[in-house]
Structure formats: C-alpha cells, structure tokens
Structure 1
Amino acid sequence: MWVRALRVIPRISPEEWRKLDVISRWLVSTRAAVLIMTFISAAVAGLLAARAGMFSLWHWALLAVGLIFAHATNNLLNDLTDFERGVDKDNYFRTQYGPQPLEAGLMTRKELLVYAAVTGAIALAAGLPLVLERGPLAWGLLAAGAFFVLFYTWPLKYIGLGEVAVILVWGPLMIGGGYFVITGQWDWQVALLSLPYALGATTVIFGKHIDKLKEDRARRIYTLPVLLGEKAARLTAVGMIVLMYALVVFAVVRGDFSPWMLVTLAGLAYAPRPVGMLLRAKPAERPADYSAEIWPLWYVAGAFYHNRGFGMFFLLGLVLQFFLG
C-alpha cells in the first residue's frame, strides 16, 4: 500500500481502510502521490544551490521535509474545510481522485485534526531551524507558506486566486525560498528560473478544476476555469504547457541555463496526449483504451502525466548542468 499510495491515489473501501497501518492511512489521506511535485521543487532548489557552489545537505534535507509535510498538511486541511462547508457532500467527482476521509466515514473530525496537527508539527520542526538561522526574510517566507496552507481552500480557491497561489508557491516560494534557506542568499534569477516547473504544477491544478468545473460552479466555487469557461480554460492550460518549454529555451539563450538544460525538451514526448485531451471536450463515456482506475478523471490525469515527465527531465538537465558545466 505504501508503494501504491505513492504512485496513485487509491480508492479505499471502509473494510480496506480498517486493515491499513497508520502510515498507509496517512499516505492515502494526504494524497501522497501528488507530493512528488513538492519534492521536485525542493530538488530544483537544491540543484540550483549546488550550481552556485553553496549546497548544504543538512539545509536541503530540512527544506524537503518541511515542504513535503506542509503540502500534506494543506491536503488534510483542504478536506476538513470542504467537509465543514458541505462542498464534498454527495460530490461524485471528489470521490474519483481519492477518498474524502471525513465524508466517507473513514476518519472522524478529531482523527483528521490529529493527523493534521502531527503533520504540521513535523513541517514546522523542519522549518524552524532554517528560519532561526536565516533571519527575517526566512520568517517572511515561513509566514507566506503558512498563509497558503491555511487559506488556499478558502477563500483563495473561491475567488479565482487558487491557481495564482500555486504558481507562487511551487515557484518563487518553494524554489526561490528554498534556494535562500540553503544558501543564505536571495536570488531573483532563481525565482524566475523556477517558473517553468511552477507552471507545470499549475497545469495540474488547472486540469483538476476543469474536470470539476460544473460541480464547482454549482457550489459557487469560482476557480479560474469557472471564471474563464471550459474552452478558454483548456486553451489556457495548453498555453502554459507551451510556455514551460519556451521559458527553458529562453533561459538557455540568455545564458541563465547551460545548453544541457535543453534535455528538458525531451519532456515534449509526454505532451501530445494531454494537449490532445485539452484541445477536445471530455468524452461522455470512458474510451476503451483509458484506464478504468483513473476514469472519470481526465484533464488532471493528462496534466499530471505530462508534469511528471517534464519535471524528471528538468531535474536531469540541472544534474547535467552541474556535472558537465
């Protein structure tokens, strides 16, 4: 179950849940499969610090643990907030991308609060040595992270700012801020170089919000896809995918990245499928060659598939850049 929960977000029956150990329950309830996006941001920050000759394994380890557990805390609090507001009641779509522990009766409110408190405490324990060492700017970054953890689900997601928050968090905050706590130096160039991967993470949340656009609109949750409309939102997501690669090429041309970073273009091999999905309306029924385990998730599955491939080649480019110049 540990391996399965890290690969996909499994659908669990109450009977299966009762047989799980506490770590498996934590992995399922935090939707651990998506935490890979946060790990990649931490890895990017570490590799950029290594390129600058200022990498510290201790600082990076604290950063990675802090970010991953902060993201996990956010996922738990998202479910709690949506449950309290009645968003997930009789919400067919929500059950398709993993169990809602409270709505499904897998956990009580008290149990979820305990999970969130312990997870948040681990994140804080990892982050506290960093902010104590790095000073006021680090405290500001920690406060910004706490703000997004606590207020992403409400009110930011409700007023079309959730997607903007994702760009800021997975880019300048995680990568730019991560670089700062590792090296002790803030670098605006690093913050800008974080944008290709930040856009990738944003395509995932965009795909998720397009998938549940009708449900969100009915519940008066005005995500950016709800405000834009489905077709415009799908085209916006395609534009973000194109921009991810364009920014990498631009950074190479400017000399901010070495030519080795062009290996990131190999991620284009993962692009035709999600782009083709985004250019068309979602089919009414599951295609014969589409996984029954994933259906009816559509746009979010395609975006996650692409972002994972892009992220791996983006990291490979950074590794090659570090070792080969």
Structure 2
Amino acid sequence: MATVAEWVQGARVRTLPNSVAPVLVGGGAAAAVGGFHVGFWVLAMAVAVALQVGVNYANDYSDGVRGTDAERVGPLRLVGSGLVGAGRVRAAAFACFGVAAGAGFMLAALTGRWWLVAVGAVCILGAWFYTGGSRPYGYSGWGEAAVFLFFGPVAVLGTLYVQAGRVSWPGVAGAVATGTFSAAVLVANNLRDVPTDRTAGKVTLAVRLGEVRTRTLYCGLIAVPFIVSIVTSFNNPWLLVGLLALPIVQRSARRVVHGEAGLALIPVLRDTGLAMLLWAAVTAGALGWG
C-alpha cells in the first residue's frame, strides 16, 4: 500500500510549473487589456493543474504496464515500482481528468463559450494518448510538439481569451515563451532517459536526434523566453524583469553542455521548471503593471 507521500511523488508535483506558468502569463495578458477576472482565472488554473496531475498519473500507468519504467532513473513510479496496482493509478488519472472537465464545464457555462468543452476534450485526449493507447505519440517523437502546443498557445491564449474575449500580441509572445520553456523541460527529461528509452523501444525526439543534438535543442529552447522578454520590452520596458530567471537556466545549460547524464540531469529539470515559474510570475506582473 503506497503512502500519501508516495502518491504525491507519483503525481510529480515538480512538473506543476508547466501548468501554473501559462495560466499566470494568460492572466497577466488579460490584465494588460483590462480583462482580468479572478473567478475565471481560478477556474482556468484548476483545469490546468488537474490536467497536469492527471497526465502524470496516466503516464505512470501506461509506462508501467508497458514495462518502460522498469529501468528508469528519476522520480518514483507507482506502477513500475510495484507499489500501486495499475488499475488504481489509472483511476487516479481519470479522477483528475474528471476534476479538469468539471472546472472547464463551469468555465464554459459562466462565460457562455461552449467551444471550451471541445478544447477541454482535446486536451484530455492529448493527455491520455501521450503514452496511452496502442500508438502513443510520446513514443514516436511528437511529445515536445504537443507540450509546446498545450502548455503554450492553448493554455496561455485560452486563459487570456476566456477572460478578455480577445487575443493580444503580448499574449501570443507569452504563449511562445511558456511553450518553449515546457518543451525544454521535456527535452531535459527525455535526454536523461535516452539509454533506457532506447532499450525499451520508446522513440522520443531525444532518441531520434541523439544526445548531442538534443543538448543543442535544449539550449535553443531555453533561449527563446529571454529573447521574447527583450523584444517585447520595446513596448513595455517592465518585461525585462523576465531576465531575472536567466541565471537559473544558465546553471542548467552548463550541465547540459558539459555532457552530464542520468541522475545528474535531474537538477536540470528542477531548475528549468523553477526558471519557467519565475519568468511567468514576473512577466505576468509586468504585463498587468504595464
């Protein structure tokens, strides 16, 4: 029987910046055009966080039943470790998806934008089929593209639109930045797992590219948010505060460039997530303030 602490580890709470950051940026972009609505913003955050935890449990289940987690390094896997039966982890994933669907339905009802239900359904399907189903797209190199899409344009612009009823150029720039940050987290994760994924037949983008090009890709992705901060600062100088997150990712980039692998890459995942969260928080504040 797994403990509460082990269930929390299985939920991989360190990945939550991926879901929190875009909603912060979307809220800041809404405030910049005078459209911030605290109730809608809270519901959007609930959707994002519930989906994130749900996809983490879904990945734990799907990878566990496939045997992909048998030799993995990194966070605790509930199914792969044998601590929890696969059915219980799958049920936890579906419960989280249910919470996300409920919050999303409330948001659609309150705003009158019923198309949000369709968007939410696509997000849930994307979360499940990342590693679930007979042909998971996470096993064929499309994970980073999906992460960019769902944690960038969908999350940021969706949060902005349900509040303000419009999309803005700062919102689009913020969507690109948070999407590349999230993709960088997954690139670092998959770089860590290249040896075991290759053995298990999980053909991630990192496996396709090889370690050298994957390390280059990571450095390119983490540069994008800071380029966005500089470019958008011409219209709002406050947005330069996003550069405060730069020292954190510089530390991560050094580890990646110097060829660290396996467990030594876990701090890279942590620091990339922290940099994303800091960048999103200060950028959202600058958007609202400016």
- Structure 1 length-normalised TM: 0.81
Q: What's the Cα RMSD here?
A: 2.1
Q: Which amino acid aligns with 1:99?
A: L
Partner of 1:305 in structure 2? 271
Q: 1:121 to 1:307 in 2, by over 3 A?
A: closer
| Higher relative contact order, structure no. (Cα contacts within 8 Å, ≥ 6 residues apart) | 2
More displaced 10-residue stretch of structure 1: 244-253 or 261-270: 244-253
Preserved CA contact (<8 Å) 2:14 2:270: no
| Partner residue of 2:239 out of 250, 261, 274 | 261
- Cross-structure match for 2:232: 251
Asked if the contact 1:153–1:162 (Cα under 8 Å) also holds between the matched residues in 2, the reply is no
Deviation track 1:250-290 (CA, whole Å, cap 9, x = no partner) reads 2223x2xx11010111222113321111112226xxxxxxx
Distance 1:297 1:181 in 2: 40
Structure 1 residue runs of 4+, over 6 Å off?
none
Distance 1:187 1:266, change over 3 A: closer
Which digits, 9 at most, give the CA deviation of each residue in 1:191-225, with x for residues without a partner? 34311122111111101101111111122211111
The equivalent of 1:286 in structure 2 is: none
How many residues matched?
A: 286
Letter in 2 for 1:260: W
3-state secondary structure, aligned to 1:61:
helix
Deviation at 1:150, TM superposition (A): 1.3
2:47 aligned partner: 66
Shift of 1:187: 4.5
- Structure 1 portions without partners, runs of 5+: 1-13, 284-295
Which region of structure 1 is more displaced relative to structure 2, 65-74 or 189-198?
189-198
* Correspondence for 1:103 among 77, 80, 91: 80
Distance 1:62 1:314 in 2: 18
Q: How does 1:119-268 map to 2 (within 5 A)?
A: 119-132=96-109, 133-154=111-132, 155-187=136-168, 190-253=171-234, 255=235, 258-268=236-246
Partner Cα distance (2:277, 2:93) in 1: 28
* Alignment counterpart, residue 65 of structure 2, candidates 84, 96, 106: 84
**Larger mean Cα displacement after TM superposition, 151-160 or 312-321:** 312-321
Choose between structure 1 and 2: higher helix proportion.
Answer: 2
- TM-score (ref. length: structure 2): 0.90
Question: What is the DSSP-based 3-state SS (H/G/I as helix, E as strand, rest coil) of the residue aligned with 2:103?
Answer: helix
> Mapping of 1:49-64 within 5 angstroms?
49-64=30-45
Q: Unaligned stretches of 5+ in structure 2?
A: none
Indicate the structure (1 or 2) with the bigger Cα radius of gyration: 1
- What letter corresponds to residue 204 of structure 2 in structure 1? T
